[in-house]
Chains A and B, each alone.
Chain A
Amino acid sequence: MVYGGYMIHQYKLNGYNIVLDVCSGSVHVVDDVAYDIIGLYESHAWEEILSQMAEKHPDVPEGELSECYDQVTALKDAGKLFAPDTFEPMAGQLKRRTSGVVKALCLHVAHTCNLNCAYCFASQGKYHGERAVMSYEVGKRALDFLVEHSGTRKNLEVDFFGGEPLMNFDVVKRLVAYARSIEQEKGKRFRFTLTTNGMLVDDDVIDFANRECHNVVLSLDGRKAIHDACRVDYAGNGSWDRIVPKFQEFVRRRGGKNYYMRGTFTHANPDFLEDIKVMLELGFTELSMEPVVCAEGDPAALTEADLPIVLKQYEDLAKLMIERRREGRPFTFYHYMIDLTGGPCIYKRISGCGSGTEYMAVTPWGDLYPCHQFVGEEAFRLGDIWQGVTNPGKQAEFAACNVYAREACRDCWARLYCSGGCAANAWHATGSVTGVYEYGCKLFRKRMECAIMAEIDRQFHENE
């Protein structure tokens, strides 16, 4: 809903009437009368609103309608309803101000994998290229590159990714030791993340990750039959039975530190809530379930027929979260984590994801790509960790990505919650990094509606 520079979004979910004022970030929970008055407020005169409301709500006295109208007006005057979008001139400012600063690297320490997952966007870890592992020397240079280009940033993020990074675990350990050895001298703080399929998890890995990694991402698709249909070894055997006990031990010993049990859902399981329930039954409580990324026409790709099923899963998931929270058995769903008072500032919200500018992926050979999802796409190679960025034209395309660079985002109420979407998804869907992957947008908007509703419910029932 656009009112010439103002934007609100109204929706009803799980018994709540919710009004979002997009540009101020305000969230209002309203009764039916206020819901309807807000919908008419900017486009109709009071007399017209009164006439329509009298017809729709014949039992509500005029005095009460008038009182409600005044409450809407007060919120508008306070900048919490119909706030104008004044942010466009700021778009790109953050990136320009920090041009050349890199603060996060995805280190592809192993372009090889011990699983042969059918839907892997990395082509079983090879990224359309040869199998390879990163040497210590390349990894060390990548860390030095990060420090050298991090400017005044203190927090540096490094993700060990693959393929399967534990196939090069010795190098991972040595790189962490090196990073720790220079942290103090360089005035930096490294936050490491390890993403693993679990096959090589053992006591050594658990101890190391629980000591050194800010976060671990553990790949599990949920139901055994769903998981084993895709996540198979090279002999075609499912991996569920082998990894689940390891993940349970891993998480048990993590002692409350961050982790995500991360699944992928595809055309085979648009009813992914059933997979989330299995994760909960297994004792996992920090969960992430992601729509598959693949080419249109791929048998795994989500279809239009899957869409209503997926959207319903998101709603039911939010209701399950609320139910379990009230029962004292809470769990976290990555996309429903929302901090309405402590979330990102407006610069972050309009700047886009940072791929190709503050965030890059490094191949086993030291080549730089805008992010892990572009690795192997030669046209997107930005440079390498020795010479830095040598393809400034390509980097400029990513630097120009922001909320206002995408026409479709201008009319989207969720733009300040998503910051313009994923460049890789956009490129796969439209051939341009500033395109829009509309299917993903539909899922994102539903997730935000659910996340905000669940947060409202939490606040309303906080003291119960």
Chain B
Amino acid sequence: MTHIKTIETRNLCDSAKNGGCGECQTSCQSACKTSCGIANQQCEQKADK
């Protein structure tokens, strides 16, 4: 039986190969203004596709 279900995620090691364009939103610029976090940000390269 399967004991583990793996959720699809972006492979962070792979993202090192073509990442770093810097076009994505500045971390706390748009909404909260008081706490940093990048988990809720979108990659602009993926958003453009």
Asked whether A93 is an interface residue with its Cβ less than 8 Å from the other chain, the reply is: yes
Determine chain A's interface SS by DSSP, over half rule. Answer: mixed
Q: How distant is B13 from chain A, measured CB to nearest CB, in Å?
A: 6
Selected contact of A25 from candidates B10, B36, B40, B43, CB within 8 Å: B10
- Chain A: residues with Cβ within 8 Å of the partner, total of 92
- Chain B: residues with Cβ within 8 Å of the partner, total of 43
- Assuming the contacts A153-B22, A157-B29, A353-B27, asked whether A341 and B8 have C-beta atoms less than 8 A apart, the reply is yes
Q: Is the CB of A27 within 8 A of B9?
A: yes
Considering the complex, give the chain A residue whose CB is closest to the CB of B46: A342
Q: Is the CB of B36 within 8 A of A422?
A: yes
- Assuming the contacts A26-B6, A347-B16, asked whether A448 and B39 have C-beta atoms less than 8 A apart, the reply is yes
Q: Is the CB of B16 within 8 A of A335?
A: no
Which of chain A's residues 337-377 have a Cβ closer than 8 Å to chain B? 337-349, 352-354, 358-359, 371-373
Considering the complex, give the chain A residue whose CB is closest to the CB of B28: A353
Q: Is the CB of A157 within 8 A of B25?
A: yes
Q: How distant is B1 from chain A, measured CB to nearest CB, in Å?
A: 7
Q: How distant is B41 from chain A, measured CB to nearest CB, in Å?
A: 5
Which of chain A's residues 274-296 have a Cβ closer than 8 Å to chain B? 288, 290-291, 293
* Segment with Cβ contacts to B, from A243-251, A313-321, A413-421: A413-421
A-B contact pairs, 27 of them (CB 8 A): A25-B9, A25-B12, A28-B7, A68-B3, A79-B11, A101-B22, A153-B23, A155-B23, A214-B30, A337-B40, A338-B40, A343-B39, A343-B42, A344-B42, A345-B10, A345-B12, A345-B16, A345-B20, A354-B26, A371-B28, A372-B33, A373-B34, A417-B38, A419-B27, A422-B36, A444-B37, A451-B40
